Amino acid sequence: MTAPDQPFRTLAGMRDLLPPESGRRRDLVATFAGVVELAGYREVQPPLVEELGVFLRVGEATDVVTKEMYDFEDKDGRRVALRPELTAGVARAFVQHHPQVPWKVWYAGTNFRHERPQKGRYRSFDQVGVEVLGVDDPDLDVEVVALAWESLRRLGLERIRLLVNSIGDHDDRARYVEAVRAFLDSRRGELSEAALATAERNPLRVLDTKRAEDLAVVADAPLIAEHRSAASAAHFERVLLGLDALEIPYELAPRLVRGLDYYRRTTFELVAESLDAAQNAVGGGGRYDGLVEDLGGPPTDGIGFALGVDRILLALEAEGAPEVQPVAVEVFVVDLTDGSSARDLTHELRSAGISADRRFGGGSMRSQMKSADRSGAQWAVLIGADELESGTVTVRDLRSDAPQSPVPRTDLVAELRRRGTTT
């Protein structure tokens, strides 16, 4: 095979996640896991690829399904797709394994949507989230919304807003869709071409418009509140009461319709004020009471949310969170003999839980010390011919002028611990 004319690069909308930012992502997932595990959620890891049909259940009229799916025929001739989100896969797993309910799970993973890439909108992006299956109790909605809010706060975001709505149950929603369709039809002349096309496929999505010309029309659109049944209204009342009780600040967003079609009753979104309006949703979720049935399971209530890891990191940066510091090793071994000591000592230190690195290929004292400085290590451990002979090593504190001192090689781990390595 010949070399390419140009070096290979990542595809549009896909990024390499490099250190030190990659470490921040891992910390973010760990913090999120801490918050939700405290509430009894356990991790689930559905596969990245499923039968296309699983993902079609997020809504045949949505952009996610009609425009953005990474679907293809696999080598067995099956239509499969890379997951665009995790809720459908989790619901499929529920149907397949029938775990005890309530099934409270969390996840962290990469998703793929063939969107128009821009800052905060990628074709490969990460989410963390939770799902609960098998409970129809508005207090669960409160728990789930509160967890989304708490997680973002614990991750350090300060300028966030929580928008809440209820789009009613299955029948309310169907009535509402018809009311919006009729309304949009009556104002066709004032709507943009794009809005008219969306209205054909999915009238509720027009309510989400950001286009100035359509906003004026949308402002007069019917509200779901006028179409909610008494039961849906009572459910929603109880959710709001719970959020008040937990002192979670929310805003009612009567026109909040989400981009996926499986939602029923409670829906919510979290927006970061520090991000541009087009990509400021750092998370969203809601109930999806019909999804499990659509996937072939028994009637089962479900609710969850997902937070966008990439956008949370952008929002943290925009809010001025301190930059991530590269993680340094504690010890750098400088071997001025044949390298065997560096080989053995780094192994020994790491086995004792002390992080250690070295330079490969030898080099002068000067060049090895340069590598030691660059590594950010606090201590250099030097071994020259004299040390080898006397069975010692020299420990030098790279962050102070303290005199360096010889230490018996067999005491090195104990000496480093005495000096305060993290382990």
Q: Classify strands 281-287 and 379-383 as parallel, antiparallel or unpaired.
A: unpaired
* Least distance in angstroms from the C-beta of 36 to ligand HAM: 13
Nearest Cα to 108, choosing from 85, 92, 79, 88?
Answer: 85
Of 45 and 423, the one with the shorter C-beta distance to ligand HAM is 45
Two structure tokens written together for 151: 């997680």
For the chain, the straight-line distance linking the first and the last C-alpha, in angstroms and rounded, comes to: 49
Count of Cβ atoms closer than 10 Å to residue 313 Cβ = 21
Query: Judged by CB, which is closer to ligand HAM: 279, or 378?
Result: 279
Least CB distance to ligand HAM at residue 286 (A): 6
Q: Is 13 left (phi over 0), alpha (psi -120 to 50) or beta?
A: left
Q: How far apart are CA 118 and CA 303, in angstroms?
A: 29
Q: Classify burial at 306, counting beta carbons within 10 Å of its beta carbon; exposed 0-12, middle 13-18, buried 19 or more.
A: buried
Question: For ligand HAM, which is the closer residue by CB, 153 or 374?
Answer: 153
> Whole-number minimum distance, CB 134 to ligand HAM, in Å?
14
Q: Whose Cβ is closer to ligand HAM: residue 70's or residue 305's? A: 305
Beta strands in 224-336 (DSSP E): 251-252, 264-272, 281-287, 302-308, 331-335
What's the closest the beta carbon of residue 335 comes to ligand HAM, in angstroms?
A: 46
The least distance separating ligand HAM from the CB of residue 282, rounded to whole angstroms, comes to 5
Least CB distance to ligand HAM at residue 235 (A): 16
- Positions that interact with ligand HAM (CB under 6 A): 85-87, 113, 115, 121-122, 125, 127, 129, 131, 258-260, 281-286, 288, 304-306, 308, 310-311
Which CB atom, from 121 or from 175, has the smaller least distance to ligand HAM?
121
Per DSSP (E only), the strands in 201-291 are: 251-252, 264-272, 281-287
User: Which lies closer to ligand HAM via its Cβ, residue 114 or residue 419?
Assistant: 114
